[in-house]
A and B are shown apart, each in its own frame.
With several copies, the nearest count.
Chain A
Amino acid sequence: MSDTPVLDDIPAPQAAPAQEALARIYGQPLEQLPLDLYIPPDAMAVMLDAFEGPLDLLLYLIRKANVNVLDIPMAPLTLQYLEYVEAMRSQNMELAADYLVMAAMLIEIKSRMLLPRAKQAEEDEVEDPRAELVRRLIEYEQMKLAAVRLNEHPQAERDFVWVETWVEKSQMQRFPDVSVADLQQAWQSILRQAQLHTSHKVQREELSVREHMGLILRQLKEADGFVEFIHMFDVELGAPSVVVHFLAMLELARERLIRITQAEAFMPIYVRLAIADDAETPLTEEEAGQIVEIPAEEGEGDAPVTV
């Protein structure tokens, strides 16, 4: 019944060529397909695994026969395809479903090709009944090859590892951000607390004096000894600053945080930090006679800060 040439080299399932592996299963080449329609379940599983579907099986048959995809001999191809499918179907109906659809398609194409073509139609580029199948085979083969290429491409974790050197987090000390508003809020919370406990009166305090008190103490600490009074002032900061600085110095003296000394009238005035020795080792008689100590207000030094 077949009027198309028989392709001897398309392998039938009964006589698969032994030279080339049909597939590799668990690394072992599958060189031979089962010899008759009785296929042991294991072998069948192997065969089903070998093909990704009807297109894959068709491509295999075509490539094996070394025929042009564009000129597929439909009759032998269909025949061989059906033999494979029959073998599969006898074992696994569910998996053969896709294959059966293709079988129907092949038979349909084959029958359409058997129909005599009208003369006039021959001149007009009649579409080959195989065209759609060819298009699908080519597209599938393209994707099949692309998958192989893609798999060969270096892949993270399989072919290389990302470098991720250790950053010792504990070394990375992060500090909280504090804004003026935070301080303001903290102060308000202190006041609230204070109001709950006592009826302290909050007095206006010249902040700049406080700031300069700190500046003076720091200045003296860095100097680590006596600093001449006039050197304590930076006149370039302007009169208000000098005044505040002076007030701060008086306040520090009052709080006995600094000592201001002058050996005798019109001699340079020296300023230094109050040190422990001041209290414990009184000055010698001579020193005491020469050094005029600017007295600090008594009894105020350890008064609690009013809130």
Chain B
Amino acid sequence: MPQLPSNPAEIKRILEAALLAAQQPLSVSELRQMFDGELAPEVVRKLLDELREEWSERTVELVQLATGWRFRTRTEYMPYLEALNPEKPPKYSRAVLETLSIIAYRQPVTRGDIEDIRGVTVATQVIKALEERGWVDVVGYRDTPGRPALFATTKKFLDDLGLRSLTELPPLEQLNQTLELSDAS
């Protein structure tokens, strides 16, 4: 186990190296492993905040996600990077996106719940596409006849959208207020 450097600047560089090389987001506790747990979580968090600040004006940015911290390229460079990578991520149909929204905002939901909201049958491949992306999974079964599977979004979904938690999802349009207002009138 390597030594804990006495110099905070050096510790920060080690955190930076680890985060730049990581294949998945690294949590504070994972980062502390590098120093045999000898570094207090608050210190790691403080250094991470400093790192985020240091990188804020650069081509890649340090973001805090659901499962930890990770560097990512700034969105403005994507048009150029796309030219390098001919493999494009899937572009989702409205059916997939609406299903994803319902799972994200109303989770946990069954396929029946999704169908009730959308007013149409949900094709198997719609849910499958989301499961294959690792964005939704089955978190349980509702205790009703047929024991339908309950779907919820995963941490990967939050990570891939750069969110720390579901509360960071874009707020829903407050359409209900209109309803209440006009009911009152």
Contacts and interface: CB of A to CB of B under 8 A. Distances in A.
A178 B95 contact: no
A190 B72 contact: no
User: Which of B104, B113, B165, B168 gathers most chain A CB within 10 Å?
Assistant: B104
Interface in B137-176: 139-144, 147, 150, 152-153, 159-163, 165-173, 175-176
B172 A162 contact: no
B9 interface: no
Contact of A146 (B78, B85, B172, B178): B172
- Interface of A, secondary structure class, is helix
A307 interface: yes
Given A54-B119, A190-B118, A182 B153 contact: no
A218 B118 contact: no
B143 A70 contact: no
Interface in A137-179: 138-151, 153-168, 171-172, 174-179
A286 interface: no
Interface residues on A, range: 35 or more
A184 B119 contact: no
Interface in B86-121: 87-92, 94-95, 97-98, 100-102, 104-109, 113, 116-121
Contact of B104 (A183, A218, A305): A183
Given A150-B169, A180-B163, A305-B106, A217 B98 contact: no
Nearest to B151: A214
B161 A156 contact: yes
Task: Indicate the size class of the contact surface on chain B.
Answer: 35 or more
Interface in A232-275: 255-258, 273-274
Given A147-B100, A161-B21, A183-B169, A193 B133 contact: no
B116 A221 contact: no
Interface string B29-58: 000000000000000000000000000000
B94 to A, nearest CB: 5
A167 B81 contact: yes
Contacts of B167: 207-208, 211
B128 interface: no
Contact of A187 (B21, B105, B153): B105
Contact of B172 (A176, A204, A217): A204
B21 A167 contact: yes
Contacts of A156: 72, 89, 159-162
18 contacts: A134-B179, A138-B179, A142-B175, A144-B101, A153-B170, A155-B160, A156-B160, A158-B89, A165-B60, A171-B78, A175-B133, A178-B161, A182-B92, A188-B178, A205-B172, A207-B172, A210-B166, A301-B142
Interface of A: 52-56, 68-71, 98, 102, 134, 136, 138-151, 153-168, 171-172, 174-180, 182-194, 197, 202, 204-205, 207-208, 210-211, 213-214, 217-218, 220-221, 255-258, 273-274, 276, 278-279, 301-302, 304-305, 307
